[in-house]
A and B are shown apart, each in its own frame.
Chain A
Amino acid sequence: MIGLIDYGVANLGSMRNMLRRMGVENDLVGTPEALLKVDKLILPGIGAYDYGVEQLADRGLIDALKRRVVEDRVPILGVCLGMQLLGLQSAEGVRQGLGLIDARCERFQPDSAARLRVPHMGWNHLESVPQSPILNGIDASARFYFVHSYHVVCSNPGDVLATVNYGIRFTAMIQRGHIYGAQFHPEKSHRFGMRILQNFAGL
């Protein structure tokens, strides 16, 4: 059973719709106790970094999540803001993230010369597709929907699973063992994103 972390922030409807379509059992989890009843976690998220941290904290989910992921080794997939929250902090705010990955978020700089607008919004390809259980069946033709103004910078290059290019090269996916993150929205990326969620569900 996948637990979809419900912390008053995310657009949970899209993810639920996609998981339902895939026939993957899932439940909303919004309390420390509920985290114990699921064996995989998805941390979705849209909106501001500090608001996300505060909403997790208000529900007592920060330490509970860390325990589930670090001590019980429950696989987690952070999506969009959810991936950013797996890191330490963000230039968007002042609050501390979950710290499951040694990473910080930086803002894209608009580049009028190259006509690169912020947010980075639209479909993009991974620069290369490495071996990883979450990328089974994904090849270079796969495209994913991104919408974000901040991007994750990992201190440890080994945590970067895949990159994309938007004026600069930045981190599209992270992986440290059973901890995964996708900056893009797999739930809104047609069969490509569906495959990634299937891979995660099958871990």
Chain B
Amino acid sequence: MLRVRVIPCLLLRNGGLVKTVKFGAATYVGDPINAVRIFNEKEVDELVFLDIGASPERGPNFSLLADIASEAFMPFAYGGGIASIDHVKRLFGLGVEKVVMNTAAWSNASLISQAAALAGSSSVVVSIDVRVNWRGKYTVHVQGGKTDTMRDPVEYALNMQQIGAGEILLNAIHKDGTMEGYDLELVRRVAAAVTIPVVAVGGAGRLAHFRDAVANGASAVAAGSFFVFHGKHKAVLITYPSYAELEQVLGSSED
């Protein structure tokens, strides 16, 4: 049976790896190619790269992605600056397995359908960034968290599923980089509504957090800080739990 996927979600900016806190302050954490090599050795389940510096005008950094793809012997998803079906085609051609779309899913929803028609829904991930306000209301944000669409994440996720998304990468902006645990309420609501896999991201700091997300309906878990920082003082160190450790904590999806 399937064990839950445990996915390092790495942020690119200007060709380097960074890690943010609540989508703000970014710390440089190293070279992406080096990171992929380390994650290869550690036999990670999957990798997600999100280029937070990419823009629709410039598009993805294809030469960097070609280098990453040639070193990635695990499934590899990419998001950032994807604005056209030609971008999507080029990414698949390089060896990217899944395209991740966030702002484009909101501003140009037909791109989701086109990408799904091209490569199948399972290759199309919609990333949904959610922020909770002081009243406890969740709304979907786009453009790196800068624009509040005022849309409800459950309704939004259902809409994305309907138009062709095969997976939802569900991020809680208010948890990003905090390492204090996922927003489980958000995970529960969205995962209960859709039939496609929901990947929880934002807030993981301990293995137990992964288990919490799964208990609330996540099909897979992703994290940034957890895999790149080590210890109280957050020294940069790329780590990934052993297969046995993950089996023990997460078991199979039937548990």
Q: List the interface of chain A (C-beta within 8 A of B).
A: 11-14, 16-18, 20-21, 46-48, 81, 110, 112, 114-124, 145, 147-149, 165-166, 185, 187-191, 193-194
Query: Provided the pairs A16-B95, A47-B120, A114-B254 are in contact, do residues A21 and B2 lie with their beta carbons within 8 angstroms?
Result: no
Give the docked Cα–Cα distance between A56 and B97 (Å).
Answer: 21
Give the docked Cα–Cα distance between A114 and B253 (Å).
Answer: 8
In the complex, are the beta carbons of B253 and A116 less than 8 A apart? yes
Residues on A with beta carbons closer than 8 Å to the beta carbon of B5: 121-123
**4 closest cross-chain pairs (CB), A and B:** A13-B95, A14-B95, A119-B122, A47-B120
- Contacting residue for B69 out of A13, A110, A121, A165, CB 8 A: A13
Main secondary structure of the interface of B (DSSP, over half): loop
Q: Please, could you name 19 A-B residue pairs with CB atoms under 8 Å apart, sorted by A?
A: A11-B123, A12-B93, A21-B73, A46-B119, A47-B123, A114-B253, A115-B217, A119-B196, A120-B2, A121-B166, A121-B219, A123-B3, A123-B45, A145-B45, A145-B46, A149-B122, A185-B97, A188-B76, A190-B73
Give the shortest distance, in Å, between A103 (CB) and chain B (any CB): 19
The reply to whether the CB of B94 lies closer than 8 angstroms to some CB of chain A is: yes
Residues on B with beta carbons closer than 8 Å to the beta carbon of A123: 2-3, 5, 45
Residues on A with beta carbons closer than 8 Å to the beta carbon of B197: 117, 119, 121
Q: A11-B92, A17-B72 are in contact. List 7 more A-B contacts (CB 8 A).
A: A13-B96, A46-B119, A110-B195, A112-B195, A121-B122, A123-B45, A166-B2
Query: Provided the pairs A117-B197, A121-B122 are in contact, do residues A20 and B167 lie with their beta carbons within 8 angstroms?
Result: no
Give the shortest distance, in Å, between B135 (CB) and chain A (any CB): 31
Interface residues on B, range: 35 or more
- Contacting residue for B95 out of A11, A48, A189, A194, CB 8 A: A11
In the complex, are the beta carbons of A188 and B74 less than 8 A apart? yes
Q: Which residue of A lies closest to B44 (CB)?
A: A190
Query: Provided the pairs A121-B197, A122-B3, A123-B3 are in contact, do residues A14 and B122 lie with their beta carbons within 8 angstroms?
Result: no
In the complex, are the beta carbons of B73 and A188 less than 8 A apart? yes
- Contacting residue for B97 out of A149, A166, A188, CB 8 A: A188
The reply to whether the CB of B235 lies closer than 8 angstroms to some CB of chain A is: no
Give the shortest distance, in Å, between A184 (CB) and chain B (any CB): 11
Residues on A with beta carbons closer than 8 Å to the beta carbon of B196: 117-119
Give the docked Cα–Cα distance between A188 and B5 (Å).
Answer: 14
Residues on B with beta carbons closer than 8 Å to the beta carbon of A188: 73-76, 97
- Contacting residue for B40 out of A12, A48, A110, A190, CB 8 A: A190
Give the docked Cα–Cα distance between A53 and B138 (Å).
Answer: 44
The reply to whether the CB of B43 lies closer than 8 angstroms to some CB of chain A is: yes
In the complex, are the beta carbons of B93 and A166 less than 8 A apart? no
Give the docked Cα–Cα distance between A118 and B219 (Å).
Answer: 11
Residues on A with beta carbons closer than 8 Å to the beta carbon of B94: 13
- Contacting residue for A17 out of B4, B95, B195, CB 8 A: B95
In the complex, are the beta carbons of B220 and A122 less than 8 A apart? yes
In the complex, are the beta carbons of A124 and B75 less than 8 A apart? no
In the complex, are the beta carbons of A190 and B1 less than 8 A apart? no
Within 8 A of A (CB), among B125-173: 166-167
Query: Provided the pairs A110-B195, A117-B219, A188-B74 are in contact, do residues A122 and B2 lie with their beta carbons within 8 angstroms?
Result: yes
Residues on A with beta carbons closer than 8 Å to the beta carbon of B108: none
Query: Provided the pairs A13-B94, A17-B69 are in contact, do residues A46 and B1 lie with their beta carbons within 8 angstroms?
Result: no
Give the shortest distance, in Å, between A13 (CB) and chain B (any CB): 3
Chain B 213-252 interface mask (CB, 8 Å, partner A; 1/0): 0000101100000000000000000000000000000000
Give the docked Cα–Cα distance between A119 and B117 (Å).
Answer: 15
Residues on A with beta carbons closer than 8 Å to the beta carbon of B4: 122
